[in-house]
Amino acid sequence: MHRAYKFSICCFSNRRSYGAFLTTQSQPVLSSPVPTQENISRLILEQKSATEALQTFRWASKLRSFTHNHSTYRTLIHKLCKFRRFDCVHHLLDEMPSSIGSTPDEDTFVTIVRGLGRARMIKQVIKVPELMSKFEKKPTLKLYNSILDILVKEDIDIAREFYRKKMMGTGIQGDDYTYGILMKGLCLTNRIGDGFKLLQVMKTRGVIPNAVIYNTLIRGLCKNGKVGRARSLMRDLVEPSDVTFNILISAYCGEGNLVQALVMLEKSFSKGYIPDVVTVTKVLELLCKHGRASEAVEVLTRVEERGGIVDVVAYNTLINGFCRLGKVKVGCRLLKEMELKGCMPNTDTYNGLISGLCDSKMLDLALDMFNEMKRVGINWNFVTYSTLINGLCSGGRVEAGLKILELMEDDKGASLIPISPYNGVIYGFYKENRLEEALAFLRKMENLFPRAVDRSASILGLCENGSIDEAKGVYDQMVREGVMPNALVYANLLCGFCSKGCIREAFELLNEMIGHGYLPVASTLNALIILLCKQGKVGKASKLMEDIIGRGCLLDSGSYSPFIDAFCSNGDFHRAFMFFLQMVENGIVPNFHSWNALLVGLCQQSSWIEGNNKYCRLTSQLQTIIQT
């Protein structure tokens, strides 16, 4: 007996428990007087421990007219391997010749290899061919391939050594499955060069590489960013498979190369292949990312017409794509379309639509969509609540947002809710210049988010006292702790930087503020515009204003006054007048400072006013504003 597999026989000392086990197990399961081997195998698999599995096997041995076979022994061995009872396994192997009149078959040893592999007993895995030889059986290629498959998952170097010494060294010629296993191991460890060498070895030995081997190498190349070379390798394939196209299309999508992804998609269609749903979704996502959601719909339609599978994730991708383009009504139509086709929407579907409706300021429709979820039995999750609360509050409906927040607290429990929706409420108050209410709401959050409230209060107090450097230190600490700052923190710290003349720090903070979805109100933005204009950086201030208007920020007369004052101070009355005109055309009533600066300048440029039709247009618009 081989030393590595010595066995100590399992003993059952508790005979009373054993008898009870047989009594409870035998009656309900078996419906015929003599069970089949299949019945016993299934019964063994149902046992919850190695002991129970072995007891069941021994019990069946005593049944009249029943004989075990390779199948029942193999099932028991599988179960014992699962519980790492390899000592018992060896005893069973020794028992089989006398019990069933036959030595263990090939599949039995393969079962042992897989069991040892799951236990990561690599040294014992390698010795299984020796165990098989003990029963005067020559190890088969199937057994060697099973061992090789275990080894490549553990260590490719061990696998290669086994292949060279144990297989090639004993005259075992590998097949395409053998080489496929080795190729998988090489590509998993990014040894692409060795993979190409293996491909050449196969060809020289007369083994024709199959599509699986090529696909493994193609995937390895794509994983290492060599998609072009992977595509060249595809040309060596006599007939690329659907998997080949899935790999390459996904790789091009991963690189953001939409053109080549679509080229490969067309080739896939021309070959009669339909990409799988994951690959299709990646193409849809990339098209939507490039603002080509309508083309994404065409791709989805073509896939469906060819019998391809399209799931809710694919439809959600389309819906989100249209919502990002501001075409939320198209997204709503897609919701109805997917339902008609039997593809049921999920929470993510509705979340995407609610987000799109909030972004498009269709807040009533967003609330309707929220209520529809409940009617059709789709659960709200945190994203649902947070999206709607933030949308309502940023859209000027803070009270409605507070009602949804209260509903969320009742549903999820206040202690389990992240800070994001609460910061959304603060942002709503900030946008409406209801700063006292924002501060009061912040103080109410103290029990739920003590650290966030403490850090925020410290920053606000330090900014009020002019201690901006200390405030920035607390802010940095807040960020390191993973606490998301609220709009009040950003606004006060930004104004503090401006008061100290710190333009770079102010811009960095502004970018962070916008990145978290908080657009500055006019009073916050004006502090930065004033600073830029005072430092003579009027052009940069103008670009900032243009960008911020494009993001939907509302300005006031204080936003334009610094420009008018700066241009008038430099004698550039034409540009000052243009900004004044732009302010009036946008429905903003100029303040006293703007009037005074412009009129003083214009009085010195009376020749410019004469015959200028823009001045007449300005006068007409001002009269309209005054009348209203």
Give the three-class secondary structure for 590.
coil
d(CA 254, CA 257): 8
pTM over 0.85? The answer is: no
253 Cβ contact partners less than 8 Å away, ≥ 6 residues apart: 261, 279, 282, 283, 285, 286
What backbone torsions phi and psi does residue 347 show, to the nearest 5 degrees? -60, -40
Please report the pLDDT score of residue 381 as a whole number: 93
d(CA 288, CA 379): 27
**Which amino acid does the sequence have at 616?**
C
Q: What is the mean pLDDT of residues 113-127?
A: 93
Nearest alpha carbon to residue 105 among 79, 139, 78, 80 = 139
Tell whether the model's pLDDT for residue 16 goes beyond 60.
no
Nearest alpha carbon to residue 35 among 80, 77, 68 = 68
pLDDT digits (tens, 9 = 90+) for 543-569: 998 898 888 888 888 888 888 888 887
Task: Please give the torsion angle defined by the CA atoms of residues 150, 156, 162 and 168, in that order, rounded to the nearest 10 degrees.
Answer: 110
d(CA 15, CA 21): 10
What six digits make up the tokens of 350? 């509705």
**DSSP H or E segment with residue 326:** none
What six digits make up the tokens of 254? 């991963």
Residues in the chain: 628
- Residue recorded with tokens 């193999």: 74
- Residue recorded with tokens 């009594």: 23
Tell whether the model's pLDDT for residue 605 goes beyond 70.
no
d(CA 218, CA 267): 17
Nearest alpha carbon to residue 389 among 411, 415, 366, 369 = 366
d(CA 204, CA 197): 11
Nearest alpha carbon to residue 99 among 70, 119, 141, 122 = 70
Tell whether the model's pLDDT for residue 6 goes beyond 50.
no
Task: Please give the torsion angle defined by the CA atoms of residues 391, 393, 399 and 405, in that order, rounded to the nearest 10 degrees.
Answer: 70
Burial of residue 607 (number of CB atoms within 10 Å: 0-12, 13-18, 19+): exposed
Please report the pLDDT score of residue 21 as a whole number: 36
Burial of residue 148 (number of CB atoms within 10 Å: 0-12, 13-18, 19+): buried
- Distances in Å between the Cα of 522 and the Cα atoms of 224, 433, 545, 549, 559 are 48, 10, 10, 10, 7
Please report the pLDDT score of residue 576 as a whole number: 80
What six digits make up the tokens of 369? 């969509």
Reported as a pLDDT band with limits 50, 70 and 90, residue 32 is low
Contacts 24+ apart (CB under 8 A), 451-459: 451/481, 451/483, 452/419, 452/478, 452/483, 452/484, 452/486, 455/481, 455/483, 456/485, 456/486, 456/488, 456/489, 459/485, 459/489, 459/492, 459/493
Which of these ranges, 239-248, 407-416, 494-503, 619-628, has the smallest mean pLDDT? Answer: 619-628
Please report the pLDDT score of residue 467 as a whole number: 94
